[in-house]
Amino acid sequence: MISIKINNDTFEVKPGTILLDAARKNKIPIPTLCDHEALTADGNCRLCLTEVTVNGKSKLVTACNYPIREPLQASTKSERVIAFRKNLLTMMLSRWPNVPMIREYAEMYGASEPAYQHPQRNEDKNACILCTRCVRACNEITWEEIIGFAGRGATRRVAMPFDEQYDRCIGCATCAAVCPTGALQVYDEANKPVDAKRISRFGLRLASELATMDHEQCGMRRYGTTNLVGIMDAYDLLPTHNYKFGGHAEAKNLYKEVWGTLFKPHTPDGCWAGCIMSCAHGIDDFELKSGPYKGDKVLVDGPEYETVGGCGSNIGVFDPHIVVELNFYCDTYGIDTISFGTALAFAMECYENGILDKEKTGGLDLSFGQGDNALEILHQMARGEGFGVVVGQGIRKMKQIFAEKYGADPVFMQDIGMECKGLEYSEYVSKESLAQQGGFAMAQKGPQHDEAWLIFMDMVNKQIPTFEDKAEALYYFPMFRTWFGLMGLCKLPWNDIEPADNAQTDEPHKVPKHVEGYINYYSSVTGNEITHENDILNQSAKVYNFQRVFNIRMGFGTREYDRGPYRAMGPVTDEEYESRAERYDEQLKELVGVDPTKLGTAEKKAALRKYREEQYEGLMDAVYKRRGWTENGIPTLETLKRLGIDFPWVVDVVKPHL
C-alpha cells in the first residue's frame, strides 16, 4: 500500500490506483468532463488537473488517468489548480457559452464570462464539446470504430469516414448514451419502430451493463462462451469421454485463459454489426496440419464452448490445436461440431469396449484422445469414404449398424448412445439435474439446451426442488426461450450479462429487468403493447404446441420419444459409478433408502437407475400436466382451443392419440 495525502487527509491506496478513483472513493470532488465510468480515461478535457507533489517537485496531472506509484501529496484546490481551471473554463466558455455542463463548472470556478472571441463560437446548448466519449464508446464498447475524428486542431469534429453515412452503423446508440451534452442523438427512422426512443432507453441500459460488467461476469467479450469450460469442469458438468465423466485433469488446456491467448483480441465479431457482446471470436493465422488445406494459414471462426466440449473433452482431446482444426474443418465441410463430437465420442466408446476394432475402422485407432484420427474421420466423412461414412450417419444409425453387422449389444448401445429423437446431445452432463434431463430429452427438436438450461437452478442453487417446480421451469423456460427465436433475437444478452442488482430480485433466474426490457422492445417496435411476461409466454405457447403437433405427425411426438438414453440420467458402467461412488452412495442412502455398504457396484447401479428412471417418469407426468398435454405427451383439444390453434387439420393429427 502507498500512503498518499489528498488536501489534508491521508489515505492508503494500492499501487497503480488512479488518483481520481482514490479521490472519489473518499468523497473528494474533482471536476470532470471527458471522463466516463464505462470508458478508458482519455485525459483530454484537462479539467481534472490536480496538483501533485512527489519528492518535493510539484506538477499538474490529470487525475483521471494518473496512476499512483509512490507516496504523494495531491491538492485538488490549490491556488494553482483553481486559477488553471478558471482560465481553462473561460476558454471553453468562449467557444461554448451555453452548454449547461460547462456553464455550471464555469460558475463554480468564477469564470462567468466567455471572455475571448472564438472563431468557432457555438451558441447551441447541445454543442459538441469534443470530449471524445462517443468515439471511445464506439471503439471500446461496441468495437466498431464507426465514428472518429476528422479535422485537426480547432476544426476537429466527430465524423464517420469521409463524412459519409457508414452503413456498419446500425444505430446502437451507445455513443448517444455517453454524450454529456446531447450533441449526439440517435433516432431509428429506417425501421420505423413505433417508439424509437423507448427502444434506445432499454438498449442503452443493456449496452452499458455489457460494457461495464461483462468483464466481471462471464467475460463474453473477451472469451466468448469458452468462459464456460472451466466452470463446467469445476462443477463436474464438462462432458468427457462420451459423457462418462464431468471433468478431466487435462481440461485446463481448454480453459478460457488458453483461448484468450489464441483469439484475435477486440475483433468486432458480433453476429450483427453493433452487437456489444460480440461473443463470437476467431483465431487468425491458424496453420492447418491436415486435410485439403494442409499448410494453409486460415481464420477460424470459433471455437465456442460446445465445440470445445464436442471436439475436445468428449472425445478425450485436450489439445486446443486439434479442437481448432476440427472446428475449422467442420465449418468448412458444413458439419455441426456438436453432432460430430457426440457421434464420434459414441464411436470411440464402442471402440474402447471392443464393439469396434481397427479392422472395422479401416485401421484407425479410435481410442479417446486420438485427435489426429478424429481429424481423419472428419475428412473421410466429407469425402464419403471409409469409416467416416459410418460415423457420419449419426448415433441412431450407428447403433443399428453395429448391432446388425457386429452383433453389438443394442441395450448397452442404447444406454451410451447420446441421442434422442435422432439428434446428438449437446455438451453438458445432465446426470445430476433431473430438470435438465427433461430439458434435453423433452425438447422438441431433440436434446438441445436452447429450450432450457436448468442445471445450476436445479443442481447447484436448488431453486426448483419439487416436481411441480421443475415442471414450471420446463414450462416457463421453453416458452420464454422459444420467444427469442420468434423475434429473431439472441438469448445471450438476456442472462449472460445480469444487472448489478439482479440477485436481489425475487426471481433472479428470470432476470426480471431484462424481461422488462424485452416487453418494452416488443411493444415499442410493434406498437402492440404487452405488459407482462405471460404475454410473451402465450405468444410462444402457440408455436411450441404447434411444434409438438408437428412432431406427432412425424412420429416423434409421443412420450416414448421424450426419454433419453440412461447415460444422460445416471452412471451406465461400473467405471462411471465408481468414479463418483461417494456421491451415488450417499444418494442411495438419502434418497433411495438403500444401504450401499452391503451392495456390489452392479447392484448399487441398478438401484440408483431404478430410482432415477422413476423420478424421470414422474417429471414427465408433471411437465405434461403443466403444458396441458395428456400422459402420452399429446396436447389436449382444450389446450389447442385455448391457444387458438385448434384448426381441423391440427385436430386431425392429435385425435388418434387422445
Partner 1 sequence: MARIDLKSLGAAAKAERERLAQYKGMLMVCAGTGCVSAKAFNIRDGLNDALKKHKLDRDYLVVATGCNGFCGQGPIMVVQPQGIFYQKLKEKDVEEIVESHLIGGTPVEKYLYKDISSDAVIPQMDDIPFFSKQKLIALRNKGLVDPESIDSYFEREGYSALAKALEKMQPQQILDEVKRSGLRGRGGGGFPAGVKWESCIEAVGKTEKKPVLVCNADEGDPGAFMDRSIIETDPHTVLEGMCLGALAIGADEGYIYIRKEYPLALTRLEKALAQARERGLLGNGILGTEFNFDITIHRGAGAFVCGESTALMASMEGRVGEPRTKYIHNVESGYKERPTVLNNVESWANIPVIIDKGGEWFAGIGTGDVSKNPWNGSSGTKVFSLVGNINNTGLVEVPMGISLREIIFDVGGGIPNGREFKAVQTGGPSGGCLPASLLDEPVDFDTLTKAGSMMGSGGMIVMDDRTCMVDVARYFIEFLKDESCGKCTPCREGNTTLHEILTRITEGKGTQADLSALADIAGVMAEGSLCQLGATACNPVLSTLRYFRDEYEAHVNDKRCPGGVCKDLITYTIIDKCTGCLLCKKKCPTEAVSGAKKELHVIDQEKCIQCGICMDVCKDDAVRVE
What residue ranges bind partner 1 (CB under 8 A)? 42-47, 49, 60-62, 65-67, 80, 84, 87-88, 90-92, 94-95, 115-120, 130, 132, 148-149, 151-156
Residue 47 or residue 634: which is nearer to partner 1 going by CB?
47
Which is closer to partner 1, CB of 154 or CB of 602?
A: 154
Cβ atoms 566, 609 nearer than 8 A: yes
Q: How far is the CB of 212 from partner 1 (least distance, A)?
A: 22
CB nearer to partner 1: give 103 or 567: 103
- Is 48 or 177 the residue whose CB approaches partner 1 more closely? 48
**Phi/psi at 298 (5° precision):** -130, 165
Q: How far is the CB of 130 from partner 1 (least distance, A)?
A: 7
Q: How far is the CB of 150 from partner 1 (least distance, A)?
A: 10
Least distance to partner 1, CB of residue 62, Å: 6
Q: Which is nearer to partner 1, 161 or 485 (CB)?
A: 161
Can you tell me the distance from the alpha carbon of 474 to that of 430, in angstroms, rounded to the nearest whole number? 15
159-196 core/surface letters (b: 16 or more CB in 10 A; e: else): ebeeeeeeeebbbbbbbbbbbbbebbebebeeeebebb
Quote the cell numbers at residue 9. Answer: 487527509
Q: Which of 197, 185, 47, 186 is nearest to 126 (CA)?
A: 185
> Which lies closer to partner 1 via its Cβ, residue 39 or residue 572?
39
Length of the chain: 658
In the three-class reduction of DSSP (H, G, I as helix; E, B as strand; rest coil), residue 344 is classed as helix
CB of 491 within 8 A of CB of 484? Answer: yes
Q: How far is the CB of 49 from partner 1 (least distance, A)?
A: 5
How many Cβ atoms from other residues are within 10 Å of residue 453's Cβ?
20
CA distances from 644 to 330, 628, 648, 650 (A): 42, 14, 11, 11
- Among residues 24, 30, 39, the alpha carbon closest in space to that of 180 is found at 39
Grid cell at residue 399: 447403433
CA dist., res. 340 & res. 344, Å (int): 6
**Which distant-in-sequence residues (6+ apart) come within 8 Å of 617 by Cβ?**
none
> Dihedrals φ, ψ of 591, to 5°?
-100, -40
In the bound complex, what is the minimum distance in angstroms from residue 181's beta carbon to partner 1? 14
Smallest gap from Cβ 18 to partner 1, in A, equals 10
CB closer to partner 1, 53 vs 495 = 53
Name the β-bridge partners of 301. 282
Q: Using an 8 Å Cβ cutoff, are 471 and 623 in contact?
A: yes
Q: Which three cell numbers stand for residue 114?
A: 466567455
Distance (Å, rounded) from C-alpha 515 to C-alpha 533?
7
Report the nearest approach of partner 1 to the CB of residue 110 (Å): 13
Q: Which SS3 state, helix, strand or coil, does residue 281 take?
A: coil
For partner 1, the closer of residues 19 and 429 by Cβ is: 19
In this complex, which beta carbon is closest to partner 1, that of residue 52 or of residue 229?
A: 52
**Considering the complex, what minimum distance in angstroms separates the CB of residue 390 from partner 1?**
50
Compare residues 120 and 534 and give the one whose CB is closer to partner 1: 120
In terms of phi and psi (left: phi > 0; alpha: psi -120 to 50; beta: otherwise), the region of 528 is beta
Least separation in angstroms between CB 47 and partner 1: 8
Shortest Å, Cβ 23 to partner 1? 16
Give the residue with the Cβ less far from partner 1, 15 or 292. 15
d(CA 276, CA 222): 11
